[in-house]
Amino acid sequence: MFLKSVRTAAAAVATLCTLHVGVAAADQGYVTNGDYGQLKIKQGETIVVDGERYVPTIWVDPDGCEHWVMDDGAEGYMTPNVRRDGTPVCREVNLCGVLNTDQYFATDSAKIGPAGRKTLAEFFKNASARAYIVMGHTDSRASDEYNMKLSLRRANAVAAVGNDTGATIMDIRGYGERQPKAPNDSAANMAKNRRVEIFCIR
């Protein structure tokens, strides 16, 4: 049976491959095509199978461990990036920046002003990390759906500044009110929860 596979993510570009089939106990065998149909083939027959083109990228999970992500435009595959001994490849990830969104964004806005952009640009230029993960958070006011969208928009705005400086933004996430830093029981605590966190991947 021929299964679509990627033997190494770094060489995950398929063109055309030739498949030689030998069947010891019978005159003919079967090969599975991309649509899960079966093609009848004879012993020793050679067929050409259209390969698929995958674009491999690295995704880092919250623990800092790498995963290969292969996407052909219609469907994707993800597999852990491991060393030869089977251990996962993990990086050091630490919280290296916390932005109080009250200082960077107007209420209900995801637009960063010139002064805020300048401060953020200096941060990304001086942090010297290999890559970054940006996470947005809000307090518990407004609906969960609204807060999820607002936190992601603000995280995207911060990440855009990083991209402009040449920084590698590995992932952008919006958590809304779901990961509070403090109970949303006072104005002071709500202010703590309105934040964008930047994690540095070393």
pLDDT digits (tens, 9 = 90+) for 105-145: 999 999 999 999 999 999 999 999 999 999 999 999 999 99
74 vs 10, 15, 201, CA distance in Å? 20, 17, 30
Q: Are residues 103 and 191 in the same domain?
A: yes
With vertex at residue 172, the alpha carbon angle to CA 56 and CA 59, rounded to the nearest 5 degrees, is: 25
Least confident of 5-9, 125-129, 166-170, 181-185: 5-9
pTM score above 0.75? no
| Residue among 38, 40, 79, 76 at smallest CA distance from 55 | 76
Q: Are residues 115 and 45 in the same domain?
A: no
Q: Are residues 13 and 109 in the same domain?
A: no
> In this predicted structure, what is the pLDDT of residue 57?
78
Q: Are residues 45 and 99 in the same domain?
A: no
161 found inside a domain: yes
Model pLDDT for residues 33-73, shown as the tens digit of each residue:
444 445 555 666 655 555 555 566 777 776 778 888 876 66
Q: Are residues 102 and 189 in the same domain?
A: yes
175 found inside a domain: yes
Flag whether pLDDT at 2 surpasses 50: no
- Rounded to 10 deg, the angle between the 114-127 and 144-164 helix axes is 60
Longest dimension (CA), the chain: 78
Q: What is the number of structural domains in the chain? A: 2
Q: Are residues 44 and 97 in the same domain?
A: no
